[in-house]
A and B are shown apart, each in its own frame.
Chain A
């Protein structure tokens, strides 16, 4: 017999989530170890993977948790990248430091963009964001003076006496890894918070959530700005490595949003883990099928045809994606303890799950 007045308590972290969380920490440590090695090919892979983990996670935060499906995220990538160019080349600032003002510029730009795009709903919001990204791309192409140099593009100024190549690759890999860890942490904390609860309420039933006092517009606005900030920073980090930039690729929907959508959907939309898994799979499979000594070889076109078909199949038949399907069969499976599970303490003192709420 128990004298505890409350007959139930809320459980968040579970043994599984602790074990998986530990594995996650080990994975990050391993990536950091790889980043510290002086292998530029590995460092390039780490940067590419981490940048896509950031942008895919942010797209998922918008699409999977707030119902804002955007196909204009390349606007923020390109703005972040050109912010880097403006502060690095234009104002001669340290290129690593320039990521910060570049990301802040994207944050500021996201306000008018949201004010316009939020007038559209659902699929029309998606294409509206795309039009906005196109406008930004065309305006950047039109600016033909230094440091943007119009449609022909330009290169980030990294003189090797100031930024030795090996050091730049290593530093960029660490920045990218740090940004990815920060982005995922911010998302996990955000979803654990009150905002996270209201976001998920909005996603599940917008009018119902509004009726319960959730300020739908404001919460969406905040999330949209956070996503823009991180997506912009990721764009800057990408071009810190790639150096050469052109508006048509920096603002290209096929270069950015298309792979992002495929990654998130296959990994599992509406889960924190899904985009990370999707991005990792994207790079692993792509490496495998494009290397000359593997059993299956696909050209770029075929790779995109197959992934596009996969995205369709997942969207039509397995809407939860990989991680979501796994979670359905193993409900305790979660790396990030953002769920609230109500455990009823009954008289013999053993714990039994009565109700689950996320």
Chain B
């Protein structure tokens, strides 16, 4: 029975990882850009949410309604000020610039919020669970998973059914040809970064409601997001969901079997195995 519980927990956790990874997947898919400050942005959202709750009261859930548009704005701003200059340049410069951004965000958070860990209080929802026979499922992890899947569904509907989504896919496939067809790639990039940051803000708040967080957590979250993208395969949103779930399963099942070992190690090991055996990921297209 423990195994079933661990497997369910892993799948639900995978939803969160997919939510983390969505922004990374979108930025890379559209701009070939890797933002190493991705995880730090998630931690920033969790801290902002805790500040909002402390000053205005209430539950962290209402802060989502405020912070998703804020995240979109942050993404737009980052795109205009930083990322626009990094599209199509040497990856080394992308890495250095966004790594610098990551150092700045981490230390700014450390300065403002100290090194103490914080948590977002969601009250009784945190401990609530449903029982089906002997198996019990946490209500909050389930909610988180449903939200993650809803975000991915709406994103893929947006990409698949709208004209802006078509422009996205065209830019992703061939920015030069897309531009010749009259697509404003700069505007597409701005939307992509807005989506990337607002989804990772959402993930940061959901994660902060489950476990406590500190200013130095960003790099660890970036690694999970990155592993989900690579395990699932580049360039596929559903692959990212599958990658997140595979990562979550590896962590919870690994920790279930080897209780003395840290859970994240099993995720890393799965990532290295996928890298060695199937470098394009489980659902990846051929080399880009």
Contacts and interface: CB of A to CB of B under 8 A. Distances in A.
Interface of A: 63-64, 67, 69, 71, 116, 119-124, 126-128, 130-132, 134-135, 138-139, 141-142, 253-254, 258, 261-262, 265, 269, 299, 301-302, 304-305, 307-312, 314-316, 319
- 4 smallest CB-CB distances across A and B, nearest first, come from A123-B34, A308-B103, A122-B91, A311-B100
**Interface SS majority for chain B:** helix
12 contacts: A116-B276, A120-B279, A126-B36, A127-B34, A127-B226, A131-B223, A139-B265, A258-B99, A304-B103, A308-B107, A312-B97, A315-B96
Interface of B: 28, 34, 36, 82, 85-86, 90-97, 99-104, 106-108, 110-111, 216, 219, 222-223, 226-227, 230, 260-262, 264-265, 268-269, 271-272, 275-276, 279
A69 B100 contact: no
A247 B57 CA distance: 40
Given A69-B92, A253-B219, A311-B96, A122 B34 contact: yes
Contacts of B219: 130, 253-254
Contact of B111 (A119, A126, A302): A302
A311 to B, nearest CB: 4
Given A301-B107, A305-B104, A311-B99, A131 B94 contact: no
Given A126-B95, A131-B272, A269-B92, A316 B82 contact: yes
Contacts of B227: 131
Given A69-B92, A305-B108, A130 B275 contact: no
A128 B103 CA distance: 19
A198 B261 CA distance: 44
Nearest to A144: B260
A71 to B, nearest CB: 7
Contacts of B279: 119-120
Contacts of A254: 103, 106, 216, 219
**Interface SS majority for chain A:** helix
Given A122-B91, A124-B230, A135-B272, A312 B101 contact: yes
A123 B90 CA distance: 10
Contacts of A131: 223, 226-227, 268, 271-272
Given A138-B262, A305-B107, A119 B96 contact: no
Contacts of A258: 99, 103
Contacts of A134: 223, 264, 268
A71 B262 contact: no
Contacts of B268: 131, 134-135, 138
B34 A305 contact: no
A315 B97 contact: yes
A142 B275 contact: no
Nearest to B267: A131
Nearest to A122: B91
B111 to A, nearest CB: 4
Given A258-B103, A301-B107, A265 B34 contact: no
Given A261-B99, A301-B111, A305-B111, A67 B92 contact: yes
Contacts of B97: 311-312, 315-316
Contacts of B226: 124, 127, 131
B275 A128 contact: yes
A51 to B, nearest CB: 20
A8 B49 CA distance: 69
B100 to A, nearest CB: 4
Contacts of A309: 100, 104
A119 B281 CA distance: 12
A200 to B, nearest CB: 14
Contacts of B106: 254, 304
A124 B275 CA distance: 11
Contacts of B230: 120, 124, 128
Nearest to B261: A142
A261 B272 CA distance: 25
B99 to A, nearest CB: 6
Nearest to A123: B34
Contacts of B262: 138, 141-142
A135 B103 contact: no
A71 B107 contact: no
A144 B103 CA distance: 31
A310 B107 CA distance: 14
Contacts of B28: 123
Nearest to A270: B92
B206 to A, nearest CB: 23
A40 to B, nearest CB: 30
B223 A261 contact: no
A311 B111 contact: no
A302 B106 CA distance: 11
Given A142-B261, A311-B96, A312-B101, 20 more contacts: A63-B92, A116-B275, A121-B91, A127-B222, A131-B226, A131-B271, A131-B272, A135-B265, A135-B272, A138-B268, A142-B265, A254-B216, A258-B103, A262-B100, A269-B96, A304-B103, A307-B103, A308-B100, A308-B103, A309-B100
